[in-house]
Structure 1
Amino acid sequence: MQFTDAMHLLVIGLAQGSGYALVALGFVFIYRATEIVNFAHGELMMLGAFAVLTFAELWGLGFWLGAAMGILSLGVFGYALDALVMRRVIGESQSSIFILTVALGVMLKALAGMIWGYTPLVLNVPFQGTVDIGGMVIATNRIAVIIGTVLICIALYLFLGRTRLGLAMQAASQNQLAAYYSRVPVKRLISVIWAIGAMVAATAGVLMAPVTQVSPEITAIGIKALAGAVVGGFGSIPGALLGCLLIGVAEPFLDYTYPPLQGVYAYAIMLVVLLVRPEGLIPQTFRKKV
């Protein structure tokens, strides 16, 4: 393998890992606030991509306005999903909640297939084309995924650490009872966390759409994002980012080395990490109190 080939695979891996990381952020946000693993999160990413496609292409609003409306509509959907469905199962067993989220994912995927069909659709984005860096030709849509992920992570970091709403969310996620007695609207904040998770997932769907195209099958990205979150340490935001980047970078090199196992390396890495370090690479730094 030549150096330029290795660098090209590295860029592809960073772009894939960045897409996984955006989805994993939603997993971790929701889990830290509610201790619920939302197995339908990949379907929220898929719905976000379809929503943007509908506003931008089918309704002719253009990419930027369509992206804004599609992402905001997923935020509303995520808020309503918690307020109307998930809030009703608080206190139920983990197995019941697991079955509920899996069933939601199956229903959302089937609904998307009935509305938009199962044929992959193309979302025209302004960051199409290629760029030549030192003789290495790189697709600009992959660079856009990396840059978009960095910007969203910075924005979320500043939001959670520098705003009253973000600090209230952190308080509610670490100790709901203490936050409630401090007059923090815990239920509303948890719904907002679901909304933010859905919008971040929708953004991931939009950024990954030029690479994967838009179809119900892109929900597989959500499973790999979950694997990345487990590798990094479920409940840890830095761990989720690290785990997803690790899987994203490793996949293209492993696929190149041994193609017959293409598509399963993410889960093999997760299995190895669980055997060696069950708590993940960067475990959660605090014990949750409810």
Structure 2
Amino acid sequence: MELLTIADVLQLLLVGLSQGCLYSLIAIGLVLVYKATEQVNFAQGEFMMMGAFVGYQFIVLMGLPYWLGVGLTLIVMGAFGYGIDALVVRRLTGQPVFTVFILTLALGIALRAVAGMIWGFGNYTLPAPIPGNLKIGPVVMAWSSILAILLTALISVGLYAFFRFSRHGAAMLALSQNQLAAFYMGIPVKRLTSVIWAMSAVFGACAGLLLAPITLVSTSMGFIGFKAFAGAIVGGFGSIPGAVAGCLLIGVTEPFFDIAFPTMKGIGAYLVMFAVLLIRPQGLLAQIHAKKV
């Protein structure tokens, strides 16, 4: 392998940063659901995939203006996430954890099949939100990648403010601590849980819309969700800042790993996860709460 120049290193860092931000958007949805319900949604990657396909339907097939199509996509995916919890997941309340694990795993498979039946199993192109590239000296970066970084930062700050200062955010935090106590305090637990699933689907859709111009829209793009899952584990699965940090670490590491070990391309994220778990099993920024009983 040839030695990398400073320009190459900067280019790879920026590419990795944008990838890590896209993983973060998926991981935030994973952590939100886990914090509120202690359930792991293994279909989160498929939520991202469905968001990309719904955006493709509105923007490409129906020819709507890009940002109108994005708005409609987020509304549809929010309603979809709300419905998944209200109509399916909620019925398993009180069942063993592995039941929800199997359900969401099966849901992911079903969503890939449904997407294939509706839109086909090929690869489709979705336009970038902002076409073109930004060039700073020898470093070139797509505007859509810059938008992914800015959107992740905005969502992270917005979630911090939401949980820190809003009444609904405080109710969600109470829900994550003890659902029964939250219910006795008058918090609408069922509705709030469904809202969290809706938020999870919306964040997944944001990642799908930003990722689609880079990787194309396909039924297999949801497998990227496993890298977000690895990032959430690296950062500490109960912590949103930890999940973002873990995904950024994986995103920045991946391009360098792929260049250094081309025959092992694609597994860098999981090697980072294994290494972190060996050193710090609870994750980089684990956020463990003692629940009152």
Percent identity over the alignment is 52
- Aligned-partner Cα distance in 2 for 1:288–1:4: 49
Alpha-carbon displacement from aligned partner over 1:150-192 (angstroms, at most 9, x marks no partner): 1122222222222211211111111212211111101110000
The answer on 1:274 being equivalent to 2:281 is no
Q: How does 1:123-142 map to 2 (within 5 A)?
A: 123-142=126-145
The answer on 1:97 being equivalent to 2:100 is yes
Which letter maps to 1:70? T
- Aligned-partner Cα distance in 2 for 1:137–1:89: 49
Q: How does 1:76-225 map to 2 (within 5 A)?
A: 76-225=79-228
Which position in structure 1 is the counterpart of 2:42?
39
Deviation at 1:65, TM superposition (A): 0.5
Deviation at 1:92, TM superposition (A): 1.0
The answer on 1:262 being equivalent to 2:255 is no
The answer on 1:18 being equivalent to 2:24 is no
Residues 182 and 69 of structure 1: is their aligned pair in 2 closer, same or farther, counting only changes over 3 Å?
Answer: same
- Aligned-partner Cα distance in 2 for 1:166–1:284: 17
Q: Which runs of 5+ in 1 are unaligned?
A: none
Give the alignment's Cα RMSD to 1 decimal. 1.2
- Aligned-partner Cα distance in 2 for 1:209–1:224: 16
Match of 1:72 among 42, 53, 75: 75
The answer on 1:245 being equivalent to 2:222 is no
Q: Which runs of 5+ in 2 are unaligned?
A: none
- Aligned-partner Cα distance in 2 for 1:264–1:125: 27
Residues 65 and 262 of structure 1: is their aligned pair in 2 closer, same or farther, counting only changes over 3 Å?
Answer: same
Deviation at 1:289, TM superposition (A): 4.6
- Aligned-partner Cα distance in 2 for 1:116–1:79: 23
Residues 288 and 73 of structure 1: is their aligned pair in 2 closer, same or farther, counting only changes over 3 Å?
Answer: farther
Q: Is the 8 A contact 2:51 2:73 kept in 1?
A: yes
- Aligned-partner Cα distance in 1 for 2:140–2:242: 31
Deviation at 1:90, TM superposition (A): 1.1
Residues 241 and 289 of structure 1: is their aligned pair in 2 closer, same or farther, counting only changes over 3 Å?
Answer: farther
Q: Is the 8 A contact 1:176 1:289 kept in 2?
A: no
Alpha-carbon displacement from aligned partner over 1:100-122 (angstroms, at most 9, x marks no partner): 11000000011111111121111
Alpha-carbon displacement from aligned partner over 1:3-52 (angstroms, at most 9, x marks no partner): 00000000000000000000000000000000000000100011011111
Q: Is the 8 A contact 1:19 1:208 kept in 2?
A: yes
Q: Is the 8 A contact 2:172 2:192 kept in 1?
A: yes
- Aligned-partner Cα distance in 1 for 2:291–2:102: 23
Alpha-carbon displacement from aligned partner over 1:56-88 (angstroms, at most 9, x marks no partner): 111111110000001110100100100110001
- Aligned-partner Cα distance in 2 for 1:119–1:287: 48
- Aligned-partner Cα distance in 1 for 2:132–2:26: 25
